[in-house]
Amino acid sequence: MTAPRSRSTPRLSLRPSVAVKVASTINSMSRLLGRGSGTVIGGRAGLAIDPRLLTILATDRNVALVSGTNGKTTTTGMLVAALTETDSIPVVTNTTGANMPAGHVAALIGTRPSGTVVLEVDEGYLGQLIEETRPQVVVLLNLSRDQLDRIAEVRMLVDKWRAVLGSLEPVEPGGTGTVVVANADDPMVVWAASTAPEVRWVGAGQVWRDDAVGCPACGGRIVFEATGNWYCDQCEFARPERFAWLEGETLVMADGNRYPVVIGLPGQFNRANAAMVAVAAAELVGTYAQPRVSVATALARLAVLHEVAGRFSTVDRQGRVIRLLLAKNPAGWTAIFDLLDESPSAPPVVLSINARVADGFDTSWLWDVPFERLAGRTVVATGERCRDLAVRLRYAEVDHKVVPDPLEAVDAAVRVAAPSARPGGPPSVEFLGNYTAFAQLRSRL
């Protein structure tokens, strides 16, 4: 895995070059006109002219893909940081979270063909991205219920992943093939990735287990032990031998090496993402622009991140520090609640829920989120679906106020919040939003 990979380059016929031009022109026009960041529209136009555009753009690149239900954007940001040497050619990535093929095309257009590419991939498009970009590394984080009206149920998705991961090429000494870095603690991820020829199993942890009780192999019952180990009570399916695992704040390699995982981002789930990234980064073949990195270097570089695409960032408003948190499904919300100060004097919380395409139209998942944990604190419900949220909070017996406009909701919380000691200090207000609710508030702050 040391030499750069070579693959036959598809002949650049007229169509792809026209497609590339159209996509990049539309992107720059869209940026100039201030109509969004110019990511998706140009990519869509390019793909309409030549559906093979992504294949052509990804040829001869070192590609890493990141997918899973939660932590995709943050982990992608971490992997980019881990691979980035100061002053080097930038790693190509889809920073804006546009994680479907049009977004991938837009990210690749106009970039130097020598750089490493790190792409966040929507779960439903992983198969297509693997076929078209022939990645060196695929990082699979976790799988749980999310947007059930758009993305399939977990087991339908896992069956698709299983088929495509089973068709990966084995890693050859010449540097071809794909290494899958997969979370060994998530039975659904393991079932999907166990068909792949080359897997680095990382014990990254998985707090949410409610979608993994039924064995995907035989329909038996998955038994979770207190240690985190798991097995099926009826068949051979069990946690695989791990290549590395997280022990509290230490990444332990099966070969005996131990690395402290000290990160700027909050939460054990981000330590888990960092562990996956460290293993993945070390598997990527280096290029001139991005030389190969060690686990230790990767961890040191990603430690400096304090926010990714606005997630975990703070803004100051009228002397109050507001922390912006994104969670979009029960597993994500449960993990985010672990970050909150749960003392009686805890800061007020603003909860914002939308139900657009990117959020899922069905809000029933709110009833799987343990909102009961917010009892006793000041809670403001907002967003386009604040009515659904309000009813959920009522049955959780959490006192709350409903303020439909998100900015007015934040200001209602700011009015009762204690002033912050200093800008960038501990938050005086916590804002938690799902996908489009988070983006909406950020654009207005």
The reply on whether position 221 binds another protein by CB under 8 A is yes
The reply on whether position 445 binds another protein by CB under 8 A is no
The reply on whether position 342 binds another protein by CB under 8 A is no
The reply on whether position 406 binds another protein by CB under 8 A is no
* Closest by Cα among 98, 82, 88 to 44: 98
In terms of CB distance, is 288 or 361 closer to another protein?
361
The reply on whether position 394 binds another protein by CB under 8 A is yes
| Cα 386-389-394 angle, rounded to 5 deg | 125
* Token pair belonging to 434: 């799902």
The reply on whether position 368 binds another protein by CB under 8 A is yes
The reply on whether position 328 binds another protein by CB under 8 A is no
Pairing of strands 314-317, 320-326: antiparallel
Q: Minimum distance from CB of 223 to another protein (Å)? A: 9
Are 332 and 269 in contact by the 8 Å Cβ rule? The answer is no
Subset of residues 25 to 54 that bind another protein, contact rule: CB under 8 A: none
Q: Near another protein by CB under 8 A, which window of 238-246, 265-273, 366-374, 419-427?
A: 366-374
The reply on whether position 152 binds another protein by CB under 8 A is yes
Binding another protein by CB under 8 A: which of 85, 149, 342, 405? 149
* Closest by Cα among 385, 413, 383 to 315: 413
Residues 6+ apart with CB under 8 A from 284: 62, 64, 83, 116, 136, 137, 290, 292, 293
Q: Minimum distance from CB of 272 to another protein (Å)? A: 23
The reply on whether position 402 binds another protein by CB under 8 A is yes
The reply on whether position 145 binds another protein by CB under 8 A is yes
The Cα–Cα gap between 435 and 76 comes to: 17
Binding another protein by CB under 8 A: which of 395, 405, 415, 426? 395
The Cα–Cα gap between 246 and 270 comes to: 11
Residue holding tokens 């789930």?
269
* Closest by Cα among 141, 119, 438, 413 to 310: 438
The reply on whether position 377 binds another protein by CB under 8 A is no
Q: Minimum distance from CB of 153 to another protein (Å)? A: 5
Q: How many residues bind another protein (CB under 8 A)?
A: 33
3-class DSSP string for 376-408 = CCCEEEECCCHHHHHHHHHHCCCCCEECCCHHH
The reply on whether position 364 binds another protein by CB under 8 A is yes
Q: Minimum distance from CB of 111 to another protein (Å)? A: 33
Are 243 and 253 in contact by the 8 Å Cβ rule? The answer is yes
Binding another protein by CB under 8 A: which of 4, 10, 113, 219? 219
The reply on whether position 210 binds another protein by CB under 8 A is yes
Pairing of strands 250-253, 349-352: unpaired
In terms of CB distance, is 96 or 382 closer to another protein?
382
Residue type, 69: T
The reply on whether position 208 binds another protein by CB under 8 A is no
Residue holding tokens 């792949």?
196
Q: Minimum distance from CB of 361 to another protein (Å)? A: 7
Q: Minimum distance from CB of 157 to another protein (Å)? A: 10
Q: Minimum distance from CB of 221 to another protein (Å)? A: 6
The reply on whether position 150 binds another protein by CB under 8 A is yes
In terms of CB distance, is 308 or 336 closer to another protein?
336
Phi, psi of 150 (to 5 degrees): -115, -55
Phi, psi of 296 (to 5 degrees): -65, -45
State the residues that interact with another protein by CB under 8 A.
Answer: 145, 148-150, 152-156, 210-211, 213-214, 216, 219, 221, 361-368, 387-388, 390-392, 394-395, 397, 402
